[in-house]
Amino acid sequence: MPMLEVEAINSFYGDSHVLFDISLHVEEHEVVALLGRNGAGKTTTLKTIAGILAPRSGSIRFDGTPIHGLTSHAIARRGLQLVPEERRIFITLTVEENLRLATLRSPKMRPIEEIFAIFPRLAERRRATGGTLSGGEQQMLAIARALIRSPQLMLLDEPFEGLAPVIVEELVTLCDRLAEAGATIVIVEQDVRAALLLARRVYVLNNGHVVFEGTRDDLLADPEIASRYLGIGAETGTALEL
């Protein structure tokens, strides 16, 4: 049984229909990427799964249990953590205080020193306030804040947005280590190459519809999909390369 099963969900912003019969699944210990151009519906899909936006129809099952009628905080307590694009760390609190705050009312938590072992740079900056961190350090803190709650599934929304390439490579390596350790991750990312370094299976969205589902190798071998829906290789017609 998949850890996450999304079946034919339809979501709206007011009267605007933005997701159309979206279906996807995520197996335990799997990394799945949701790709597509800006406005394709990727972030809306994550928000719907996390309970921030309620679908008007369709179903979402997490670990075999329906969650599409639950509030976002109830879903989070069940072990599904969204790391939002905005990061939303507390800039006046220290790194350690941000992490300890994340453990409040958490049914299961990792020791903070275990988190610092995974994120040595955060260990070095543990007494620094969030507002003094670099963009990459803030993203590390956002991921660490979710990880300390021992989630079964993490949803990462644009984790590499606006970061220098060297920092992106560092974060890709970090996320890859988490995946190798057994983490289950859904990643939304405009940096297709970075996302495909992590994910083994891919969904491509376009205007709120799933237009491609397959393995990373399937996508890498299909220049038409990459060109039409991701804007990659449009001029040369060549396949994606990692």
Domain boundaries in the chain? 1-79+153-242, 88-151
pLDDT in tens, 25-72: 999 999 999 999 999 999 999 999 999 999 999 999 999 999 998 999
Distance between CA atoms of residues 155 and 138, nearest Å: 17
Superfamily name with CATH number, domain 1-79+153-242: P-loop containing nucleotide triphosphate hydrolases (3.40.50.300)
pLDDT in tens, 151-200: 999 999 999 988 889 989 988 998 888 988 889 999 999 999 999 999 99
Q: Tell me the pLDDT of the chain averaged across its residues.
A: 92
Q: Residue 241's pLDDT is what? A: 66
pLDDT above 50: residue 114: yes
Percentage of residues in the chain having pLDDT higher than 90: 76
Q: Residue 235's pLDDT is what? A: 47
Q: Residue 14's pLDDT is what? A: 93
Q: Residue 237's pLDDT is what? A: 45
Q: Residue 236's pLDDT is what? A: 42
Distance between CA atoms of residues 102 and 96, nearest Å: 10
pTM of the model: 0.91
Percentage of residues in the chain having pLDDT higher than 70: 95
